[in-house]
Chain A
Amino acid sequence: MVAHLLRLKLQLLANLFRRSPLQLVGLVLGLIYGVGTGIIVIAGLFALRFVDAELARNTEVVFGAIIVVVYTVLPLFLGIDDTLDPRRFALFGMPNTKLASALAVATIVSIPAVVISAIALSLIVTWSRDGISVTLAVVSAVLIVATCLLSARVATSVAAFFLATRRARDLTGVLGVVALVCLTPVISALASVDWQRDGLTVLAGVERVVSWTPLGAAWAIPADAANGDFAGSFAKLFISIAWIGVLWLAWRGLVSLMLVTPERQPQAKRYAGLGWFDRVPHTPTWVIAARNLTYWGRDSRYGTSLVVIPLIPVVMIIALNIAGIPLQQLALLPVPIICLFLSWAVHNDVSFDNTAVWLHLSASTSGLADRWGRVIPVLLVGVPVLGIGSVLSVWVQGDWDLLAPLIGVSASILFSGLGLSSIMSAAFPYPTARPGDSPFAQPAPGATPAGMIQAFSFGAILLFSSPSIYFAFLGLTSNTDWYLRSLLTGLAVGLVVLIGGTLIGARVYTRRASDLLAFSMRN
């Protein structure tokens, strides 16, 4: 049976390449990225061969532990479509242990397995210093591959099994983004360590702890031996073998549990009343706005954008601050950046509705109602951000003359962005993650050049805002009279593009409504 499953897995791997050319390009890019990272790690391991044993141990164990973490955590967030989900074999009536081992063995036929095997084998080169170290490195390589693959296997099934409900999936998506962004301060903290001076001490400190955990134990076996610490080496050999045992038992238990547990039923939550619908006027325009507002809270595809947008300026500020620009000046950055991404975020709004948009079509909703319904929620969030945020920014920055151009530039970006998005979402929709899918699930790239549309919408917003930005720049560099002009131009251009954009967008929408539905049906 192991042979059968291996052959099945090989076939599945081969099928990866039977796709449309564009998908293939994406796949190859992904491969290059994965293999490239692998090659860098391998090159590093080779280089460590020529470094003194203690430094080699510290570096290798710490980075090795990171690799194990990646193999464990990544499947949780990516929500990988598990081709070898144990439940798919539930109807074949195989004994649990046999199925569990066959499925575990089958994971060897996968790209991540090839990468980790190559890395583990390079470990032998790193420790080809004396007979015992090399022998232990071979053992260690086997243990590392087993640990990584079993961890990934268990994590994938945990993701598919426990995180399978809609709400859990929505949540992990959002949490994943937050976690990723929260890593930035950690990275910048790491970047602030004076590696020249303290680097090795920090590394050694981390190694001392990590090498005793299952994450680093397997990596430390040959490393300790090469450093003469045979007791440590054997203790860690024991730890890593024990850990593989734990993972194996967890995997076996998971398989037998999954085979007899039906898909998890989501706990249906109750929402009393009509929510936003009762708080807005009872007209088509406003119910569409209320629907969008409701979706912002309940649909992770919107949720992730809303979480990310305020974090973008934070990351930018940290990066620019590290680069040496004082925080006071950077305080002017968040408001225009948030306005830019807020207004840009809705440039593909119709596509997010997917085929549900038929209701608008069937009710012959007017183009203007549809357009404004999608613009209003952004204005409800954007205008307070613009007003309060600008005042706060200038207060931090200190020069109250800058309030006028800051409002001018931000308003120009927000309003013209919304106007342009109104046209774009009706004229050039492109496929996006479907309702209920993970916000990271990118749809199969079709004939629509999504990247070009995104870049074009983005560029057009900046283009329309350039007069206001330019006048603000003139104010900064030559004469403060330009500040008022920046404010007025920004407001005027923004409002004209907003009103013009919704009018044009409404016409396009009315003309193309059934094409829009046909488009979403193709996705």
Chain B
Amino acid sequence: MRKPTVRKPRGAKEVPSAPRENALKITGLVKRFGEKTAVAGIDLEIAAGSFFGIVGPNGAGKTTTLSMVTGLLKPDFGSVEVHGVDVWSDPVAAKRKMGVLPDRLRLFDRLTGGQLLYYSGILRGLDAVTVKARTRDLAAAFGLDESLDRLVTDYSAGMTKKLALAAAMIHSPRLLVLDEPFESVDPVSAANVIEILQRYVAAGGTVVLSSHTMNLIERVCDSVAIVVNGAILDSGTMASVRGSKTLEERFVELAGGRKSAEGMEWLHTFSG
């Protein structure tokens, strides 16, 4: 007779006793823009093999944090280590271990999708044969086969996102840092992408993603951090952060600022 098995968090190592290596270690990260403090001292350790979600309201500092993590934005204070390598003192080694999907940065969009993937691959130091083979695989996995010959600037927002995701993975990094990866991606594509990411995590990779879609984070991530006003209000495994509530309820409770919709009665007296 089989024993009922306790469901492990996704991506957990098979040997629970061995301490998990940190894929990402953030210490005392601070960033100010003039008077405004965007990130006010963030400490975070993310174990290898996690599917980690960062949630927060608009303007909470998620993008700023992830930009500093990926070596795109210089922090005022603090350090970031990727698999033990400091991003800002040894950027070449650290960035090789990372795949990045930034939010709101342009792509070289006058290239075709195929050219952009090729460009990303060669810049990452892959050889041409590998890049071409991986381009085929990625295009099939993300449903981009039909679009590789078209200019990225003619893509829809969701397709651009998928292409950027593919470009982030092409050098098979150990850590994927994805800022709003599912924004404007249709549900079918999102499901495909999630499946790809879950297989990647199961194979020992680490995913860190930010989003403000709570349901999605709650469904796919095994750990989560809630960021409000540039600081982490709570972090840990999904179960410990969420408690008995849904992640959304817990988030709204922490973030505060729910406004009751009073004084809008005129909206219910229709004019014509």
Most buried by B among A275, A295, A514: A514
Q: Is the CB of A364 within 8 A of B154?
A: no
State whether the Cβ of B21 lies closer than 8 Å to any Cβ in chain A.
no
State whether the Cβ of A247 lies closer than 8 Å to any Cβ in chain B.
no
Known contacts A355-B105, A356-B107, A356-B108; A291 and B119 CB within 8 A of each other: yes
Known contacts A355-B106, A356-B106, A356-B107; A274 and B149 CB within 8 A of each other: no
Interface size class of A (residues with CB under 8 A): 35 or more
| Cα separation A515 to B73 with both chains bound (whole Å) | 8
Most buried by B among A166, A282, A518: A282
Please provide the chain B residues from 52 to 93 with a CB less than 8 Å away from any CB of chain A in the complex.
70-74, 91-92
Q: In the complex, what residues of B have CB within 8 A of residue A363's CB?
A: 95, 120, 123-125
State whether the Cβ of A361 lies closer than 8 Å to any Cβ in chain B.
yes
Q: Is the CB of B72 within 8 A of A291?
A: no
Q: Is the CB of B154 within 8 A of A274?
A: no
State whether the Cβ of B252 lies closer than 8 Å to any Cβ in chain A.
no
Q: In the complex, what residues of B have CB within 8 A of residue A207's CB?
A: none
Q: In the complex, what residues of A have CB within 8 A of residue B70's CB?
A: 362
| Cα separation A406 to B118 with both chains bound (whole Å) | 41
Q: In the complex, what residues of A have CB within 8 A of residue B92's CB?
A: 364
Q: Is the CB of A360 within 8 A of B106?
A: no
A283, chain B: closest CB distance, angstroms: 7
Q: Is the CB of A269 within 8 A of B150?
A: yes
A377, chain B: closest CB distance, angstroms: 14
The stretch that binds A, out of B12-20, B109-117, B198-206, is B109-117
| Cα separation A436 to B151 with both chains bound (whole Å) | 12
State whether the Cβ of B249 lies closer than 8 Å to any Cβ in chain A.
no
Selected contact of A361 from candidates B72, B112, B114, CB within 8 Å: B72
| Cα separation A469 to B124 with both chains bound (whole Å) | 43
B90, chain A: closest CB distance, angstroms: 10
A267, chain B: closest CB distance, angstroms: 9
Q: Is the CB of B107 within 8 A of A277?
A: no
Q: Is the CB of B123 within 8 A of A287?
A: yes
State whether the Cβ of B127 lies closer than 8 Å to any Cβ in chain A.
yes
Q: In the complex, what residues of A have CB within 8 A of residue B105's CB?
A: 355-356, 358, 521
Known contacts A268-B154, A287-B122, A363-B120; A514 and B109 CB within 8 A of each other: no
Q: In the complex, what residues of A have CB within 8 A of residue B98's CB?
A: 362
Known contacts A269-B150, A353-B108; A359 and B114 CB within 8 A of each other: no
Q: In the complex, what residues of A have CB within 8 A of residue B118's CB?
A: 274, 277, 287
Most buried by B among A272, A277, A436: A277
Please provide the chain B residues from 195 to 220 with a CB less than 8 Å away from any CB of chain A in the complex.
none
State whether the Cβ of B100 lies closer than 8 Å to any Cβ in chain A.
yes
Known contacts A271-B151, A287-B123; A294 and B115 CB within 8 A of each other: yes
| Cα separation A353 to B111 with both chains bound (whole Å) | 12
State whether the Cβ of A299 lies closer than 8 Å to any Cβ in chain B.
yes
Selected contact of A435 from candidates B109, B114, B128, B154, CB within 8 Å: B109
| Cα separation A58 to B127 with both chains bound (whole Å) | 71
Minimal Cβ-Cβ distance residue in A for B91: A364
Q: Is the CB of B125 within 8 A of A284?
A: yes
State whether the Cβ of B102 lies closer than 8 Å to any Cβ in chain A.
yes
| Cα separation A435 to B118 with both chains bound (whole Å) | 21
State whether the Cβ of A517 lies closer than 8 Å to any Cβ in chain B.
yes
Chain B 116-157 interface 0/1 with A at a Cβ cutoff of 8 Å (1 = within) = 001110111101100100000000000000000111011000
Q: Is the CB of B154 within 8 A of A282?
A: no
Selected contact of A362 from candidates B72, B122, B150, CB within 8 Å: B72
| Cα separation A354 to B153 with both chains bound (whole Å) | 14
State whether the Cβ of A270 lies closer than 8 Å to any Cβ in chain B.
yes
Question: Can you list the 9 inter-chain pairs with the closest CB atoms, starting with the nearest?
Answer: A282-B128, A363-B123, A268-B154, A356-B106, A355-B105, A270-B149, A298-B110, A287-B122, A364-B92
6 A–B pairs (Cβ distance < 8 Å), ordered by A: A268-B151, A362-B72, A364-B71, A514-B73, A517-B73, A518-B73
